Structure 1
Amino acid sequence: MEKQKMVQLDFGFELEPTNTPNPKLTAKSVKKAQSDFVLDFMDLLQSPVIVYPSQWQDALPKDLLNNITMARMLTKLRGEHMASLTEVVAYMMPRTYEAPMPSEWVKIYTWCGLQYAKTFKKDGQIEVMEEIAPKQLSEYEMSLLKRLRIWIYEKRRKALKVSMKTSMPKLSGPSPNNQGELFQKD
């Protein structure tokens, strides 16, 4: 058998390998990080859609509702800890059916609708939305939007935690803790 040649590739990184473990990591912090990951993952997939409480809240298009999970994932990939723009559209849509809104909220709603149409490639909607939506929002409108996105995000996570607590199965009596009790022959 021939001895294989070893070739080391140099990618130009000037980093020295570290031999010491990260002193900031503790068993507790690792467990918290794992717990946060699970909650984040559950949040993306199972959190309820928060909508404006109205008689019109059931009138959301199925297309919009179907895209919320993907929009949440895209928002998470960007590292944002807030609701997606698609969720903002879903929240505000029933409100738009109730009564006229202040002009800054109309701009926010139409701008978010345009971003939704661009993200999910809704060609017919893009053309119409570009005519009515502002090209960009003012600093004040962006701050209002950010506050709304954070509020929706917090409400959604709170609702998920409540539903997880209520859906946890209750154990009746003490659980067996040794193998003999678990696998008794009848």
Structure 2
Amino acid sequence: MDKFTTITGIAAPMPLVNIDTDMIIPKQFLKTIQRSGLGKNLFDEMRYTQDGAEIADFVLNREPYRKAEIIVAGDNFGCGSSREHAPWALLDFGIRCVISTSFADIFFNNCFKNGILPIVLPQEAVAVLMEDAQKGGNARMIVDLEAQTVTTSEGQSFGFEVDPFRKHCLLNGLDDIGLTLEKAASIDTFEARAGLLRPWV
């Protein structure tokens, strides 16, 4: 998992409320267990017509938002089913941070496990960030995980809370496998000792 420290990037405004996981990645794309390749189908039914043509007015089909790394969204982002493909699709598209007033719990947890930072802020702060995101390519937003701040292109800053353990994992690029590998030496020692004490196992 890539480390998350600071992002200075384009933020896509998505003021819709209740954006669910089926909107993020529709069910027909859940057959794969590969984490890569889903970005092209992110928000598929909102991005494309039935014959595969791009819907021109959808935000991620417009410049500069095709290169967005941040989404500023309406309330209750990631509701619906628990599919982990939703953060996979976001990450594969290039999204590393989603900002909203609230998230569905399972989606929120899955984001941290996949290197995406979900930030919860009050409605007043999200409204300011949404307006800043609508300015386009010249409005670069800064998300600083170490300092726990989001800063607009005009320098207005908002602090956010994040669980210290999850912060540690993101800063160091540690998913569940990475956390286990940190204990590799202890695991090897245990296995060696267990082999001596119980050679029949």
Q: TM-score, normalised on structure 1?
A: 0.29
User: Greater helix percent: which structure?
Assistant: 1
Please identify the structure whose Cα radius of gyration is greater. Answer: 1
Higher relative contact order (CA 8 A, sep 6+): 2
